[in-house]
Amino acid sequence: MNSRRVWAILRFVLTTLFLYFVWVLFTSDLGLFSLLFGLAASVMTAALTYHIFLPEHEANLRFFTPHFWALIRFLFLMVFSLYQSSFQVVKAVISGNTNPRIVHFRTRLRSDLARTVLANAITFTPGTMTLDLNDDHLTVHWLLCSTTHTKAAGEAIKTKLEHALGRTWL
């Protein structure tokens, strides 16, 4: 009971801090009224929604607090792979030979946030697009398919991203 209470208070404080950070970022106004009003609004919104924003079963701080440098490296990796994959799609547009398939595989990342970011990042890898994410089961449409074997397809698509994400979150 006690540890649950502590975890609930911690989640409430984290939600408030996040909302307040976003408020200051978007208003970009450092007047006293704006700061106080934003704090009050953040506390009220966090009291109503903290159990949705951070579910209780995600009981590890590393689940949603990223390593800063790993996050920066991951952003640069995303931008690089965005250009690379667009180039592959341009080559497919010119030559016209594609091999579209739908493949299914599982991920071994554990936090919801990391899984969501993985699903978004798979859209940026060459010729793939995430259709569905259900717990740890991903459905991916692959334009330039080379194999339909589940394990081989999963290894080919996600290995690099999963390593980078495993260093950022858990």
Q: Does 28 bind other proteins (CB under 8 A)?
A: yes
134 binding other proteins? (CB under 8 A): no
Q: What is the DSSP string of 120-156?
A: HHHTTSTTEEEEEEETTEEEEEESB-----HHHHHHH
Other Cβ atoms less than 10 A from the Cβ of 42: the count is 20
Neighbours of 11 (CB within 10 A): 20
**Contacting residue, 65, 86, 148, 159, with other proteins by CB under 8 A:** 86
Which of 100, 106, 149, 159 lies at the binding interface for other proteins (CB under 8 A)?
A: 100
Give bridge partners of residue 102 from the DSSP assignment: 141
- Residue 111 found at the interface with other proteins (CB under 8 A): no
Which of 115, 130, 145, 153 is in the footprint of other proteins by CB under 8 A?
Answer: 130
Q: Does 127 bind other proteins (CB under 8 A)?
A: yes
- Conformation bin of residue 28: beta by default, left when phi > 0, alpha when psi is -120 to 50: left
Binding site for other proteins (CB under 8 A): 25-26, 28, 75, 78-79, 82-83, 85-86, 89-90, 92-94, 96, 98, 100, 102, 119-121, 123-124, 127, 129-132, 139, 141, 143
